[in-house]
Structure 1
Amino acid sequence: MKPCTSLSHSTVSCLVDKESFREDISGFSFPIEAGPIYQTLDRCMSNTPHIIGGGPALAREFPHAARLGHRSDADQVDWFCGGTLISDRHVLTAAHCHYSPQGSVNIVRLGDLEFDTDIEDADPQDFSVRDYTMHPEYYYPEMYNDISVVTLSRPVIFNEYIQPACLPFDDGRAVSSFIAIGWGQVESIPRTENKRLQKVRLYNYGTRCRITSDKIDELPEGYNATTQLCIGSKEHKDTCNGDSGGPVLICHDDHPCMYHVMGITSVGVACDTPDIPGMYTRVHFYLDWINQQLSKK
């Protein structure tokens, strides 16, 4: 375990939450004056990652997964972005999600697995948005500094379905592969609406995006290796429409059922095109700014 003195409040919090919901403590009584001896059984250690090639997520596999949307005055909700719970009041997402044609983000769903059904193993809860803060150097429609922290209207009560992800220990340059999750479409043609949370393993393409991405209106200076991750696959595996704002993750070194959010789904060059990686906001670069937002009351 990394020393806590080097970790953010959110990272320490996510480890404490792991102890609350992933560990069973059992007592063994012995005839000694010291009293019972307790043994901690770590349910997390036996819960190894299930991602191989991609597919539906399992129940409680990603308890930090958030879905963001807009609730209209007529009480109709359009869901259009993803996010990551990082504390009991804050969700990390992409800044461009606040410019959706459906309206800005004003509702967050936590604890869900498959929308529009009550039979799955889940605990869906909706939270109103108190406010949100986009990075001060994000300028829509450009995709640089594409990061936002959403503040919920009330604290989250953690359980086995709803828990925060950890913030990153490093910038991800040495990471070979990531796990992307989201409720976005599962096929680019035809567009297929997806109700169930999906997962896929994607790979670190280093600085390949300098070659594969042209300078466009959203990225007038091209790929920025300091603030963006370049991630993709040689196969037909990708994030796509509706996945924006959701996380790309790595497993925690000591507790494989826990995750660090390394990136935020931001901009794709060609959805579902082999060997054409997309660009994701590099979360580690923004840690100081994120922690400033978490410290606000």
Structure 2
Amino acid sequence: MSQVSVARLLLFVTLQVAFVLCQDPDALAKQTCNQVKRDVFEERVAISFFFANAPVRWETIDSCHGSRPLIVGGTPAEPKEFPPMARLGNRNKRNNTNWFCGGTLISHRLVLTAAHCLYSENGAVNVVRLGELDFASDQDDAEPEDFAVQKIIEYPGYNYTMLYHDIALLQLDRAVKFSVYKHPACLPFVDGDRSENFIAIGWGHKRFAGRESTKLLKVKLTNFGTRCLTTTDLDELPNGYNVSTMLCIGSAELKDTCNGDSGGPVLNYHDDYPCMYHVMGITSSGIGCETPNMPSIYTRVHYYLDWIRQEMAKSS
């Protein structure tokens, strides 16, 4: 094939990709999500036969199977159940670490979190742990690994005295090697308005003013729609609840996120892959903890996809 023909072919492919992305803005997110699933959960193995000159046949073994039921109460997470989960902290010169926020791995180098976590009284976020399950045990089925924070990327519209645009990214000092213990969540394909339930996870306090959990906990929460327009009265939200940039999520029971869960994700299961999740929201603010029918506010990730993609491109 001539150089001219090759150039024309590349141009045609580029235009086709551009056309697909224009028709479906989330096509790249879907492609990335599918690729992570294939890399982590699919393995090509050679199948040979016991006679001479038999051809080798290749098969794909897919370990992403079986679905877990939605959680009905706050319970400890299972091993390898939430590989995107990150915990954020400050490590001092004496190598002592104070953990205080959560986050979500979304690429080889980026962790998504709440911008207000960057202003913690515990110090600057300078360390991220991935692959952890129980901080009090080294015998659990986990592969914890710590990463230094190389760069902090705060959303340009965030003002730390308020909770609007409460979203930030942390660039890790090295690429994460994906495995069943740590791999990214998919970016959302939809805004979450039609989602009935979400899964919240974190190592936060079990109750208001209580102790943090050493174990990663999970809880099923409900979409309260626009109810936060009338139930939310926070000094940090002088203009009220913003339906475009926030999600209103809670429970009619004694189930909620709490102190220490900030920055962590609320997730939805992937429609096709039970081993994958979409990060739909970021734990931002609430009133107390475990108050029935008193929803909390979460940053709506879908609203910020353009900004997230721009930063992902810069870090790749």
Whether the 8 Å CA contact 1:14–1:163 is kept in 2: the answer is no
Q: Secondary structure at the match of 2:129?
A: strand
Deviation at 1:41, TM superposition (A): 3.8
1:70 and 2:94 equivalent? no
Whose helix fraction is larger, Structure 1's or Structure 2's?
2
Q: Which one of the candidate residues 121, 141, 145 is aligned to 1:121?
A: 141
Q: Compare CA radii of gyration and give the structure with the larger one.
A: 2
Q: Secondary structure at the match of 1:137?
A: coil
After TM superposition, the structure 1 = structure 2 runs for residues 24-103 of structure 1, keeping only pairs within 5 Å, are 24-29=43-48, 35-49=55-69, 51-103=71-123
Q: Which residue of 2 is the match for residue 239 of structure 1?
A: 257
Whole-Å Cα distance in 2 between the matches of residues 37 and 47 of structure 1?
Answer: 29
One-letter amino acid matched to 2:232: S
Whole-Å Cα distance in 1 between the matches of residues 70 and 145 of structure 2?
Answer: 25
Q: Which residue of 2 is the match for residue 169 of structure 1?
A: 189
Whether the 8 Å CA contact 1:8–1:291 is kept in 2: the answer is no
Q: Which one of the candidate residues 240, 243, 246 is aligned to 1:225?
A: 243
Deviation at 1:53, TM superposition (A): 2.1
Whether the 8 Å CA contact 1:205–1:232 is kept in 2: the answer is yes
1:207 and 2:207 equivalent? no
Deviation at 1:24, TM superposition (A): 4.3
Q: Secondary structure at the match of 1:292?
A: helix
CA gap of 1:144–1:166, structure 2 versus 1, over 3 A, is: same
Q: Which residue of 1 is the match for residue 290 of structure 2?
A: 272
One-letter amino acid matched to 1:57: A
Q: Which residue of 1 is the match for residue 36 of structure 2?
A: 17
After TM superposition, the structure 1 = structure 2 runs for residues 106-117 of structure 1, keeping only pairs within 5 Å, are 106-117=126-137
Q: Which residue of 1 is the match for residue 167 of structure 2?
A: 147
Whole-Å Cα distance in 2 between the matches of residues 36 and 130 of structure 1?
Answer: 46
Aligned pair count reads 293
Whether the 8 Å CA contact 1:264–1:282 is kept in 2: the answer is yes
Deviation at 1:75, TM superposition (A): 1.7
CA gap of 1:245–1:11, structure 2 versus 1, over 3 A, is: farther
Gaps of 5+ in 1: none
Whole-Å Cα distance in 1 between the matches of residues 26 and 57 of structure 2?
Answer: 31
Whether the 8 Å CA contact 1:177–1:202 is kept in 2: the answer is yes
Q: Which residue of 1 is the match for residue 306 of structure 2?
A: 288
Whether the 8 Å CA contact 1:13–1:87 is kept in 2: the answer is no
Whole-Å Cα distance in 2 between the matches of residues 29 and 47 of structure 1?
Answer: 32
- For normalisation by structure 1, the TM-score amounts to 0.93
Whole-Å Cα distance in 1 between the matches of residues 272 and 222 of structure 2?
Answer: 22
Whole-Å Cα distance in 2 between the matches of residues 70 and 296 of structure 1?
Answer: 25
One-letter amino acid matched to 2:309: N
Identity %: 53
Q: Secondary structure at the match of 2:34?
A: helix
Q: Residue deviations 1:58-91, cap 9 Å, x none?
A: 0000000000001112221100000000000000
Q: Which residue of 1 is the match for residue 266 of structure 2?
A: 248
Whole-Å Cα distance in 2 between the matches of residues 9 and 72 of structure 1?
Answer: 39
Deviation at 1:105, TM superposition (A): 0.6
- For normalisation by structure 2, the TM-score amounts to 0.87
Whole-Å Cα distance in 2 between the matches of residues 51 and 23 of structure 1?
Answer: 27
Whole-Å Cα distance in 2 between the matches of residues 85 and 143 of structure 1?
Answer: 22
After TM superposition, the structure 1 = structure 2 runs for residues 181-196 of structure 1, keeping only pairs within 5 Å, are 181-188=201-208, 191-196=210-215
Whole-Å Cα distance in 2 between the matches of residues 287 and 8 of structure 1?
Answer: 12
Q: Residue deviations 1:151-192, cap 9 Å, x none?
A: 001111111101000000010000000000001011225x02
User: Which range moved further: 7-16 or 94-103?
Assistant: 7-16
User: Which range moved further: 4-13 or 166-175?
Assistant: 4-13
One-letter amino acid matched to 1:262: M
RMSD between aligned alpha carbons? 2.1
